[in-house]
């Protein structure tokens, strides 16, 4: 049962004085151009002075938000009340066990477990706990599991863990038969894969473990290792010298091959090795060629290669494993102008192509023996569908997840022979949630150059499009990452208070394929910003909201998007939330010693080149702050963030305080225990979300919904 919130808008204190960071101008010279940075000193994040400043900003923000604390608690209780705290994942078969994870009421993290399959079934078998994240996290302010791999026989577990939020993961290995964690441990592990040689040495039955580690300073995944049971120390097999490239190791579902991928933002190269020959010779499938990306998979005596060698939408080729030279390639799926081939999954009997047409995902399933192909149809105007990674090669049933802005995350088993889907589980949303009370739409906004930009929306049924509703406009638009129309139970707290939630699918993301990405990066990066503005203007024109009633939201590279947009058209927006925002773009990209910088030259450009320098200077949010009115803003950061360094949002806020001509609140909150992704515990994350929504409601308020729409 929903309790209709009061309509009065909370007011934040106006008498409190924000901390003012001292200005110490530093000249930064490049290409004969001089920038003066008054807050460059904030880069010394370990200094007492910087820490004192961050604490002062936190104290100020908390005092400003104090009037919202009752609302925050209401929102937290509301959101917690929608969650089934004690929950169980859908079990997955692997070998002789069914694997699953579960959550316990009151516990922050998941418990990973399994049960043995017996002739009587598996449900009544005793539970074996493999990894209790709560126990591992005890006494730690942050805990996150990265990679998690069970050995082929099921005896060993290898996992990686980050205890500071710095994307620095430590490898740990556990003998599940003996219930002991081995002394084997390595730091900075990014990915790992077991070989298929388990049990060959009775005195140490562990299979060979391959893993990739990152550079200590830049975190770039650049070294590839083999740790065999007879090896006291791991053996370095390969080091990626090109600073644009990162390594990743994996094993094919067929278990036939190990694959080492070396990828930049635009180019890739794969090496393969028979998984049962860990000391064999790794072979390159195709040498890297600038601008050509490809991925490799394996089936019996064939390689399947998804590649963009002929165009940005990718095609699929088949080649004999014995000789995969281009002369022997057979095209299985051609390059298509209107369909993006996003990925390919192989099982013994089936080939599943994940495709995107006009920005909408679809699954195309081919029976390998007959060649028959069909697609799974879905009815929502916009949705997210993902094929689940079932480890069983011979699995007769496929599994996929589906969600939309009105449909919670749902897991289906799909029989490709009968073409019947069976719902296994839908994310429980407690508290009387009914999807029929909400409407999802997909509209288009004309950009300045005529390109139609998709916008996904969701709102409460009965919304009157008179421009009075507040609207939350989410955006990202970078790296070719798709910002899909996902479901959020916490979002209901906005929708039930009369808000509209919208996603601007701007260029720079991968929402309409690789060409969409290309049209919003490098020299075309400004398209991302003007697309977002066009989406806001269209939403106003169509009566969903009005000028000054939009909250702009983006995180990381999405924070760059919002920061740039607020410099270009601040009058459109009534509030903004910037999460770990990448806002000091030029200074960061001029420093190749920082994590990510060199690899991202292909996304933003290299400002060591004058043309790139001038282009980035033209939109970098920090460099383009000016004496103008800005909307109320909440800026959030993580102390241990090594993707967007803490000094970027700190400098941005400090400079903005000296320039903005309004009296609107500018709040800066740093999580002193977390990194780029915010709090790791599920309850802590809910508190952070409650704070964001309370800020939004305090600034823009709720809107009354027609009584007929209330349950």
pLDDT mean across residues, the chain: 93
Q: How far apart are CA 265 and CA 557, in angstroms?
A: 15
Tokens coding 159: 């996992």
Is residue 274 situated within a structural domain?
Answer: yes
415, HSE (Cβ side, Cα atoms, 13 Å)? 6
Q: How far apart are CA 142 and CA 638, in angstroms?
A: 12
Residues in the chain: 711
Kindly indicate the confidence band of residue 494, based on its pLDDT and cuts at 50, 70 and 90: very high
Across-strand partners of 316? 306, 333
Pair (316, 344) in one structural domain: no
Tens digit of pLDDT for each residue in 99-111? 999 999 999 999 9
Tokens coding 315: 């095609």
* CA 579 to the chain's CA centroid: 13
CATH number, domain at 242?
Answer: 2.130.10.120
In sequence order, what are the residues at sequence separation of 6 or more whose Cβ sits closer than 8 angstroms to the Cβ of residue 279? 226, 228
Pair (397, 510) in one structural domain: no
Host domain of residue 389: 338-429
Pair (603, 585) in one structural domain: yes
Query: What's the confidence (pLDDT) of residue 198?
Result: 87
* pLDDT surpasses 60 at 535: yes
> Torsions phi, psi of 45, nearest 5?
-70, -20
Mean pLDDT of the 671-684 span? 80
Across-strand partners of 168? none
* pLDDT surpasses 90 at 485: yes
> Torsions phi, psi of 68, nearest 5?
-90, -5
Query: What's the confidence (pLDDT) of residue 203?
Result: 75
Across 240-244, 358-362, 420-424, least confident range: 358-362
Where b means 16+ CB within 10 Å and e means fewer, 138-160 reads: eeebbbbbbbebbbbebbbbbbb
Tokens coding 494: 């906005």
Is residue 598 situated within a structural domain?
Answer: yes
Query: What's the confidence (pLDDT) of residue 9?
Result: 53
Tokens coding 27: 């000249």
The domain boundary, picked from 429, 459, 476, lies at: 429
Task: Classify burial at 235, counting beta carbons within 10 Å of its beta carbon; exposed 0-12, middle 13-18, buried 19 or more.
Answer: exposed
Across 147-161, 173-187, 491-505, 564-578, least confident range: 173-187
Pair (276, 325) in one structural domain: yes
Pair (563, 669) in one structural domain: yes
Query: What's the confidence (pLDDT) of residue 4?
Result: 37
The domain boundary, picked from 337, 359, 381, lies at: 337
Pair (594, 494) in one structural domain: yes
* pLDDT surpasses 70 at 2: no
Query: What's the confidence (pLDDT) of residue 680?
Result: 76
Catalytic residues: 556, 641, 676
Task: State the first-to-last Cα distance of the chain, in angstroms, to the nearest integer.
Answer: 7
Give the relative orientation of helices 557-568 and 526-541 as an angle to the nearest 10 degrees: 70
Kindly indicate the confidence band of residue 5, based on its pLDDT and cuts at 50, 70 and 90: very low
Query: What's the confidence (pLDDT) of residue 595?
Result: 85
Query: What's the confidence (pLDDT) of residue 1?
Result: 29
Mean pLDDT of the 341-348 span? 96
* pLDDT surpasses 60 at 688: yes
The answer to whether 465 and 544 are in contact (CB under 8 A) is: yes
Pair (391, 490) in one structural domain: no
Q: How far apart are CA 89 and CA 102, in angstroms?
A: 6
Tens digit of pLDDT for each residue in 573-629? 999 999 999 999 999 999 999 888 999 999 999 999 999 999 999 999 999 999 999
**How do beta strands 302-307 and 294-299 pair?**
antiparallel
Q: How far apart are CA 151 and CA 193, in angstroms?
A: 9
Percentage of residues in the chain with pLDDT exceeding 90?
Answer: 86
Is residue 17 situated within a structural domain?
Answer: no
Pair (38, 118) in one structural domain: no
Q: How far apart are CA 145 and CA 108, in angstroms?
A: 13
Mean pLDDT of the 250-279 span? 97
Q: How far apart are CA 337 and CA 342, in angstroms?
A: 13
Query: What's the confidence (pLDDT) of residue 279?
Result: 95
Is residue 623 situated within a structural domain?
Answer: yes
The answer to whether 189 and 212 are in contact (CB under 8 A) is: yes
Q: How far apart are CA 400 and CA 406, in angstroms?
A: 18
Is residue 128 situated within a structural domain?
Answer: yes
Spatial CA neighbour of 406 closest among 512, 501, 477: 501
pTM, whole model, 2 decimals? 0.91
The domain boundary, picked from 377, 399, 429, lies at: 429
Pair (470, 412) in one structural domain: no
Across-strand partners of 350? 367
Q: Which of the listed ranges 376-385, 465-474, 634-643 does the model predict with the highest average pLDDT?
A: 465-474
Is residue 636 situated within a structural domain?
Answer: yes
* pLDDT surpasses 50 at 7: no
CATH number, domain at 690?
Answer: 3.40.50.1820
Query: What's the confidence (pLDDT) of residue 379?
Result: 80
Pair (256, 313) in one structural domain: yes
Pair (188, 48) in one structural domain: no
Domain count within the chain: 3
Pair (239, 385) in one structural domain: no
Is residue 18 situated within a structural domain?
Answer: no
* pLDDT surpasses 70 at 66: yes
Is residue 9 situated within a structural domain?
Answer: no
Q: Residue 680's CB: how many other CB atoms inside 10 A?
A: 23
Could you give the angle at the alpha carbon of 322 between the alpha carbons of 239 and 199, nearest 5°?
65
């Amino acid at each position: 049962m929903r309790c209709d919130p009061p309509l009065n808008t909370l007011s934040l204190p106006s008498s409190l004085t924000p901390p003012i960071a001292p200005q110490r101008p530093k000249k930064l010279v490049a290409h004969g151009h001089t920038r003066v940075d008054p807050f460059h000193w904030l880069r010394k994040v370990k200094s007492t002075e910087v820490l004192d400043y961050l604490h002062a900003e936190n104290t100020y923000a908390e005092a400003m938000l104090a009037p919202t604390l009752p609302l925050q608690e209401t929102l937290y209780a509301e959101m917690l009340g929608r969650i089934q705290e004690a929950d169980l994942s859908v079990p997955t078969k692997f070998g002789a066990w069914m694997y699953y994870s579960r959550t316990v009421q009151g516990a922050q993290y998941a418990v990973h477990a399994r049960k043995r399959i017996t002739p009587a079934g598996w449900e009544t078998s005793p539970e074996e706990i493999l990894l209790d994240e709560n126990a591992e996290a005890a006494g730690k302010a942050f805990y996150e599991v990265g990679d998690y791999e069970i050995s082929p026989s099921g005896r060993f577990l290898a996992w990686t863990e980050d205890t500071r939020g710095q994307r620095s993961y430590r490898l740990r290995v556990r003998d599940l038969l003996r219930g002991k964690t081995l002394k084997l441990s390595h730091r900075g592990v990014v990915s790992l894969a077991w070989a298929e040689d388990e049990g060959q040495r009775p005195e140490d039955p562990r299979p060979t473990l391959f893993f990739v580690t990152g550079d200590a300073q830049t975190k770039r995944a650049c070294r590839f290792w083999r740790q065999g049971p007879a090896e006291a120390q791991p053996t370095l097999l390969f080091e990626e010298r090109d600073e644009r490239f990162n390594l990743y190791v994996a094993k094919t579902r067929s278990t036939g091959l190990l694959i080492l991928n070396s990828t930049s933002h635009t180019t890739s190269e794969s090496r393969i090795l028979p998984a049962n020959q860990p000391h064999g010779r790794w072979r390159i499938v195709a040498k890297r060629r600038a601008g050509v990306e490809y991925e490799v998979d394996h089936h019996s005596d064939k390689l399947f290669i998804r590649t963009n060698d002929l165009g940005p939408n990718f095609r699929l080729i088949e080649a004999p494993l014995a000789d995969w030279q281009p002369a022997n390639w057979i095209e299985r799926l051609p390059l298509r102008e209107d369909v993006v081939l996003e990925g390919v999954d192989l099982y013994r009997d089936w080939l599943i192509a994940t495709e995107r047409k006009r920005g909408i995902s679809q699954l195309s399933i081919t029976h390998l023996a007959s060649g028959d192909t069909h697609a799974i149809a879905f009815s929502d105007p916009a949705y997210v569908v993902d094929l689940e990674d079932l480890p069983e090669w011979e699995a007769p049933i496929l599994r996929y997840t589906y969600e939309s802005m009105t449909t919670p995350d749902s897991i289906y088993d799909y029989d490709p022979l009968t073409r019947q889907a069976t719902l296994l589980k839908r994310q429980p949303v407690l508290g009387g949630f009914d999807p029929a009370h909400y409407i999802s739409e997909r509209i288009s906004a004309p950009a300045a150059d005529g390109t139609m930009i998709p916008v996904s929306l969701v709102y409460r049924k009965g919304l009157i499009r008179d421009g009075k509703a507040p609207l939350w406009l989410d955006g990202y638009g970078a790296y070719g990452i798709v910002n899909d129309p996902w479901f959020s139970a916490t979002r209901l707290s906005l929708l039930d208070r009369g808000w509209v939630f919208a996603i601007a699918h701007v260029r720079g993301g991968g929402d309409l394929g690789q060409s969409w990405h290309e049209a919003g990066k490098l020299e075309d990066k400004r398209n991302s910003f003007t697309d977002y503005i066009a989406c806001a203007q269209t939403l106003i024109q169509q009566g969903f909201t009005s000028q000054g009633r939009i909250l702009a939201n983006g995180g990381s590279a999405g924070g760059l998007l919002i920061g740039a947009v607020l410099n270009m058209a601040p009058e459109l927006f009534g509030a903004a939330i910037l999460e770990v925002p990448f806002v000091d773009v030029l200074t960061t990209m001029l420093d190749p010693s920082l994590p990510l910088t060199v690899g991202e030259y292909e996304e933003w450009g290299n400002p060591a080149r004058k043309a790139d320098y001038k282009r980035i200077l033209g939109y970098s949010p920090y460099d383009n702050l000016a004496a103008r009115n800005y909307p109320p803003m909440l800026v959030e950061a993580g102390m241990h963030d090594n993707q967007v360094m803490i000094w970027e949002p700190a400098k941005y806020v400090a400079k903005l305080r000296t320039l903005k001509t309004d009296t609107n609140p500018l709040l800066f909150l740093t999580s002193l225990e977390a990194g780029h992704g915010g709090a790791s515990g599920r309850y802590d994350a809910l508190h952070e979300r409650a704070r964001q929504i309370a800020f939004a409601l305090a600034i823009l308020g709720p809107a009354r919904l027609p009584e007929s729409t209330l349950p």
